Structure 1
Amino acid sequence: MPGDAVAGVRRELTGHLSAKDLWKVDLGVCLDLVDRDLAKKAGVEPMAVRERRTWEQAGLLAPIDVIPSDGAYALLLVLREALACSMLRFCLEAVPGNEERQLPGTDLREGVLRGLVFDLDKGWSAVGSEARPEIEGDASLSSYRSARRGLCRDLGVSSAQLPLGMSTDDPAVALGEVLMGAPVSLDGFRFDELAQEFLFHTLRDMLGGCLVTAGDMGTEIERRRWLSGLPHRYGPPAPAAASNSAVIGLGFLGARLLSALAITSVKAAMSRRGDARLEYPETAYSLPCIMGWDGEEVASLGALLEVLERSSTLPSGRGLAEALVAGRTAMIASEALEALRYMDGDPHAGTPTVGFVPDKVLRELGLALVDDTIPGAAVIMGIPQDRRQLVSTVRELQARGMLIMAADEVVKVLRENEVQMGLGMMLYPLGNFTQLVHSLDFVVRAALSFGGVQKGDTERLSAYLAKRPKAFVLHYGPLDASRASLALAALLHHVPIVTDQQVEGVPDLLIHKEPADMLQGGLESRDIRTAVTLVDIPVPFGPAFEGETVRRPDTYFEAGGGRTPSFELLKMRPEEQVKDGAISVIGPDVDRLPEGSQSPLAILVDVFGKRMQEDFESVMERRIHLYLNFAEGVWHTGQRNMNWLRLSKKAFRAGFRLEHLGRILVTKLKEEFGNIVSRVQVTIVTDENDLKARMPEALAAYQQREERMAGLTDESVDTFYSCLMCQSFAPDHICVITPERLGLCGAINWLDAKTGKEIVPSGPNQPIAKGEVEDVGKGSWKGVNEAVAALTRGKITRFCAYSMMEDPMTSCGCFEV
């Protein structure tokens, strides 16, 4: 291709980039000239293909007419200028016929395994104590960039993942390489606090690249090797001391940076899309944090910009009250940045993270949050020094039934240790950087959904969050500005932060603990009291695993599901027939069966207790499904003789056997129903002949229960039951449970409530004497109305069981249709 064609593209590009105000230049058009026109005509690789979307999302490409004059915006302008310089330099290097002397391929790959640093003056060198001091190759910047592009192409990764760094004293070159995702040591420059945080920390979250000190380059290279799955010696920095004023000051810097980044990004999006619609997926709460605290149902870019500009002014003081205002600014900015990421679809699709947690997940957890099956939530973030301690902490949280949200490097640590995560596991890997705001989204929606808090009612929202949900943060490693500002946002939500950093601390809000004591500190900060039930099995156990699915390729053993005969039965027996804690397996256990086996299975549970009643059998039998699903690697569905069980290969390798099903049932039944039963024994049957001999008793028991339930009507009993579990979220709500009417959550029937009264005599299920009939057609009784009035403190005075139009049962966020 003639050189004048390339020169023509250069002239056009130079014309664009010669504008006085680079904010008003469409750098996307310029990048098209570089990557599409010039690269094609010069026969060279494009400058930046993978990075373009990141730059667009950060507001670095679209033209913007009006930008505030704050120093944070000046830093963003510096990035645009560095990008312009990089494009011009690329044009100067793209000369047809000029063949660069490339870094030898063997040296290149060997160097990447060790980690490479390129110095514009000294050439290539490898980092690490065992590295050679030099690697042969061309010491030109164009050679470095060519090597970087080649590595990205060959390895199929972006440069933000390469253990490849640079050292230079040219700020334009340094920031140009940071834009490409590289760590760069910039010699001879000092920065103010705002620029230091932005260039050394915030950019790493935004772009993958950042400035580092010469002394920290080795650590950054090792971090990238760890993130890339290469051999590494990466270790987080030791805990550092920090005063409260330092933490608050850092939070203010983060709020300024996040606010500027959000406003710039929204303006850039409006430049491209106009006043386009934006929303989180699968939610009725718009952008929840903004809706809850600001009262605004944001549905468009223009409306979002108004909210951002309204919240961008920070107070001059540096007390705790002012810090919470800065936290609110950071929260709104983070919400905006995350909402922008969803405009082109789910940014987490195909990744190990989930981002925004949909409403349906919150609704599914509703009753568990209400009845303290889930006693609280823990947000875990940062990078721990002791990764085994982190895994131990997560396992204990799971054993306590806590909801867990993970962010930053914590997600990778858990993946490395084969800790299962996902929306079905009560362990949500949110992501990093501003994705932390999704934990705040979650607690705000809990207040709006379950607590009846109205949007924009900040006083009631704050009061509610002080009580529910009981959430806390476990933060490992040093705080940077953006995370410090989001920490202030957490404090706004009454979410205390427990950290391994040596902070001065704020009583009940910001707490320093050693890593081994952080979990206990978090539990105590929210007065969460949970007893950890130790079940003697070789796999983790807790409510966190209830949503786990064992798929066929991962299955070692399977029973039921229409493939083999199976059933489960719980029966009350005379005292002499029940040996407490006895577990027996009749037939071959799974270690005597080949992988992928399908076997008959009967699970027989015999119980004795002086307060045990036949009506309680079916209630307790349904707990078999719940308890078995608490074991990691065990999947159970169905009941009676329509059940289905799978055991995973991983659980089998860990040593799980059928005997452990019995240990689970003995332990959990005595824990939950200890007021009713004093003895529990379990028999597991895999011998088909023995199973068939026991089947008639089970079928007869099922038939007897059906006949009993068929005759159980509202008219046939003189006592109904209350359910007050949701009053912890909705103080004026009550369910009246009758034989023909479940609680509104769909989870509690009349027998459940009757059993609940026996388990916890002073609990949420209390007997209600029906009393005199007031309206038989609408289902109104004098005794019921008196009880409803008393239990709602006079808020509700009348209840009709059979009418949706006149005095129906009250509703809350756990409502199920």
Structure 2
Amino acid sequence: MIDKLISIAQGAINHLFDKTFSLLSKIISEHGTSSFELPDTAYGIPLIYALEGIKITTVEEIKDFMNKIQQLDSQTLSYLYLAEIYLTLQYIRGEEPEKHDKGQYYGFLGDTVQRTLGVQLVDGRIPAVAVLIGKANYDNISKIVKELQEKKILTFLIGSIAEDFVTNSDKTGFEVYVVPVGTKIEQTVYVIDWAVRSSLIFGGQIPGQKDAILEYVRNRVNAFACVFGKINESAVATALSAIYFGIPVISDQDLPELKISEIADYPLLTSEKNYEKTVKKALETRGLKIVVEKPPIPVSYGPAFEGERIRKEDTFIEFGGQRTPSFEWVRMKNISEIEDGKTEIIGTEWKSRYEKGGQMPLGIVVNVAGKKMHKDFEPVIERQIHSFINEAEGLWHIGQRDINWIRISKMAKEAGISLEHLGVILASMVKARFKSIVDKVEVYLYVDEKDVLTLMDEARKEYKERDQRLAKLTDEDIDTFYSCLLCQSFAPKHVCVITPERPGLCGAFTWLDARAAYEIEPTGGNQPVEKGELIDPIYGRYSGVDSYVKKHSGGEIETINLYSIMENPMTSCGCFECIIAVTPEANGVMIVNRGYNGMTPIGMKFSTIAGMIGGGVQVPGFMGVGVNYITSRKFLKGDGGIKRIVWMPKELKERIRESFQKRAQEEEVPDLFEKIADETVCEDVECLVDFLARVNHPALQLDSIIK
């Protein structure tokens, strides 16, 4: 059967070669053989770079590579490379991404999105990736997409399906897990090269090592494809491309089942004509078991709805947001004080007020109790209120504590969402997600302004006490750090060590978060790390940390310093929020955040630097970190601390302004913030050095950072 499929696909390959060569000739006549850059990637034309080790950045290099395509033994790779080149040429001509007057096609999928989604991919919030290709009835496909959303699966749409969603749905984008890539079947290569890039970004694979990269994608990327509509040469070539990477294809046409033991132990081509069973068949084929936690509410529920936006005109009722008094507060109680599962609304005539819509005050008080519950876990649970409410379709939540803002959409109200359901969601999900530390939970919703204001004052006192208690917590105060090994599903050598003063590099885990996660799931990705003997207090080296890292990196990393970028720095996976990079000419370091696409003073963009340091390797002079580490007292303690910072993007500076200025006061450099350059000052090192000399930056008076 495979030989027959390859024979059919040859027609698509021949046609695509002619089409690509014709477009290449036009571009050479129009633009010459100039250089180009795909948006937001450090990998040239990514699939070719990953599998062949050839980084293509000029039209002349494309022309040279076209000659090599004809000599390839693999028809599948020939098709994929041609598709990638054809689409790249369209980018050069300004024809990609495709335009649509009713919405957005995403086209090429950049590195930043992949790194942003990295944490969700490794911690199970996105357990799989689906690709829906072709043409089918919109109502049938929308039901399939909704089911995939509820199961937390990230879905890419290609072909007529993508056009239908852009035209008919206003709920698309990475934030809702539904991404219309484009209408051309060749654009399937965008998803494939996105999957392959994970081996470079997270896995530390070396470009050109084709077999290792193939093994990585086949074993570590949970993906499947559903192909709808009539089978033609291009559909067959696309299906073979997916199969090559171990991605099973489910078709709505009558096709015999195909297994290739050299690639996978599951069917790589199978059929399911009943659209109500498509998702079930895909999950069974790929061997995925996804358990969905859903509270008893009348709307869909899952992380895919967390990115949903509810506009003012679509809002039925809202709470907080400086429109009404509002707060949320998790309190630890004795077990005897709590009636488990209780949800109560306290206020006068609240039903008629809710039914009227508009605005209401709201005080959310969640009481929890458990044998393993600690006072320090209150803020950990409290922060999850944001996700618990947002994951309900038609509910929207931003902020926290006493600056929260909640909206319920007209659609959710029509579906049957009541005020009680806010309490039901919180009672159900706190118990479900924190079942190992919470034995009982009850929720009270206060809706009279007087009650809300009185309780808000009590909550604010508790917020302040918490902050003071946690601010005093130092690495020296405790005997146990925590690891995060979640990213090892993608970056096998990486070990993240989390301390009170060094949060996880992804920004998602503090020491308290990791401690709570261990209590919740003792065999999970967060494990205790005994500090052991303090070997170096300045660089932050501990014997227990060294032993743990060596063991759990498979012997790849023998020692790390927690507070240094220059001497045995901690490794990075790929989903870091920021990168610190040594800038020798300025005797300091620059910091660039994910999402900043401009040039930096060291002559590289974020994506280029990130490509050098991911995958669990130690790279002295470069290190991925979380934003909050920048204002830690332990920030680069071994290298001179915050006085070494000479450049940051303006957006990052403004984001940390308040906490940074507090740290600068503690370090007796109160004017340091204004002496740190950003892109409005310079993007090259010569200009940076001139600026630092002009403002008398303290880094220039420190010992050389290169030792």
What range describes the TM-score normalised by the shorter chain of this pair? 0.7 to 0.9
C-alpha separation between the residues in 2 aligned to 1:348 and 1:583? Answer: 49
Q: 2:237 aligns with which of 465, 485, 492?
A: 485
Cα distance in 1 for partners of 2:231, 2:467 equals 60
Matching residue of 2:149: 398
Query: Equivalent of 1:692, from 453, 463, 478?
Result: 453
2:77 to 328, 340, 348: 328
Residues 475, 497 of structure 1: 8 Å contact kept: yes
- The letter for the 2-side match of 1:425 is V
Query: Is 1:602 matched up with 2:363?
Result: yes
Q: Distance in 1 between matches of 2:369 and 2:293?
A: 21
> For residues 456-605 of structure 1, what are the structure 2 equivalents within 5 Å?
456-507=208-259, 508-515=267-274, 516-587=276-347, 592-593=353-354, 597-605=358-366
| 1:298-318 deviation digits (Å, cap 9, x = unpaired) | 222221122223113465xxx
Task: State how 1:15-34 maps to structure 2 within 5 Å.
Answer: none
> Is this contact kept in 2: 1:737–1:750, CA < 8 A?
yes
Distance 1:419 1:669, change over 3 A: farther
Name the residue aligned to 2:677.
Answer: none
Q: Is 1:747 matched up with 2:498?
A: no
Matched to 1:564, the amino acid is T
Distance 2:306 2:206 in 1: 32
Query: Deviation of residue 551 (structure 1)?
Result: 2.7
Provide the residue aligned with 1:96 in structure 2: none
Moved beyond 6 Å, runs of 4+ = none
Q: What residue is the counterpart of 1:303 in the other structure?
A: 61
User: 1:266–1:759: structure 2 CA closer, same or farther, 3 Å change rule?
Assistant: same
Residues 391 and 417, structure 1, Cα contact 8 Å, conserved in 2: no
Aligned residue in 1 for 2:433:
672
Does the CA-based 8 Å contact 2:97-2:108 persist in structure 1? no
Partner in structure 2 of residue 432 of structure 1:
183
Q: Go from structure 1 to structure 2 and tell me whether the alpha carbon gap of 1:786 and 1:670 turns closer, same or farther (over 3 Å shift).
A: same
Q: Which residue of 1 aligns with 2:97?
A: 347
- Tell me which of 605, 609, 624 is aligned to 2:385: 624
Within 1, Cα distance between the matches of 2:12 and 2:59? 23
Give the C-alpha shift of residue 761 in structure 1: 0.6
Pairing partner for 1:719 from 480, 483, 488: 480
Per-residue CA distance 1:447-475 (angstroms, 9 max, x = gap): 21111112222111101001222111011
- Does the C-alpha gap of structure 1 residues 528 and 558 become closer, same or farther in structure 2, counting only changes over 3 Å? same
Distance 1:312 1:584, change over 3 A: farther
Partner secondary structure for residue 176 of structure 2: coil
Alpha-carbon separation, structure 1, partners of 2:314 and 2:112: 27
Tell me the SS of whatever aligns to 1:519: helix
1:252-401 equivalences under 5 Å are 252-313=10-71, 325-345=74-94, 346-349=96-99, 350=101, 351-384=103-136, 387-401=138-152
Classify 1:568/1:502 alpha carbon distance in 2 versus 1 (closer, same or farther; 3 Å).
Answer: same
Q: Return the offset for 1:686.
A: 2.2
Distance across 2 between alignment mates of 1:416 and 1:804: 49
Residue 751 of structure 1 deviates from its aligned partner by 0.5
Match of 2:626 in 1: none
Deviation for aligned residue 1:419: 6.7
Report the Cα distance in structure 2 between the residues aligned to 1:446 and 1:636, rounded to whole angstroms.
Answer: 31
State the match for 2:534 in structure 1.
773
Question: Residue 778 of structure 1: SS of its match in structure 2?
Answer: coil
Q: 1:581 to 1:594 in 2, by over 3 A?
A: closer
How far off is 1:779 after superposition?
A: 1.1
Deviations 1:705-732 (A, max 9, x none): 1122022100111111111111111111
- Which letter does structure 2 place at the counterpart of 1:411? A
CA contact (8 A) 2:76 2:241 kept: yes
- Higher-Rg structure is 1
CA distance in 2, matches of 1:371, 1:286: 29
Farther off after superposition, 580-589 or 711-720: 580-589
Q: Matched residue of 2:512: which SS?
A: helix
Query: How far apart, in 2, do the equivalents of 1:246 and 1:816 lie?
Result: 47
Change (3 A) 1:747 1:485: same
Q: 1:246 to 1:419 in 2, by over 3 A?
A: farther
Alignment partner for residue 792 of structure 1, among 549, 553, 576? 553
Q: Does the CA-based 8 Å contact 1:279-1:342 persist in structure 2?
A: no
Q: CA separation in 1, counterparts of 2:422 and 2:325? A: 18
1:533–1:589 distance in 2 versus 1, CA, 3 Å: farther
How far residue 289 of structure 1 moved from its aligned partner, in angstroms, is: 1.5
Using the aligned pairs only, state the percent identity: 39
**Does the Cα contact within 8 Å between 2:12 and 2:233 map onto a contact in 1?**
yes
Q: Contact between 1:589 and 1:657, CA under 8 Å: does it hold in 2?
A: no
Contact 2:162 2:182 in 1 (8 A): yes
Distance 2:541 2:306 in 1: 39
Q: Deviations over 1:598-628 (max 9, x none)?
A: 3222221112222211111111111111121
Name the residue aligned to 2:199.
447
Instruction: Tell me if the contact between 2:27 and 2:93 (Cα under 8 Å) persists in the aligned partners.
Output: no
SS of residue in 2 equivalent to 1:736:
strand
Provide the TM-score with structure 2 as the length reference.
0.76
Partners of 1:655 and 1:537 in 2: CA distance: 8
Structure 1 residues 5-16: aligned runs within 5 Å: none
1:682 pairs with one of 434, 443, 449: 443
**Residue identity in the other structure for 2:150:** A
Q: Distance in 1 between matches of 2:419 and 2:67?
A: 61
TM, length-normalised to structure 1? 0.66
Deviation of 1:589 after TM superposition, in Å, equals 5.6
Larger RCO (CA under 8 A, 6+ residues apart): 2
Amino acid at match of 1:264: S
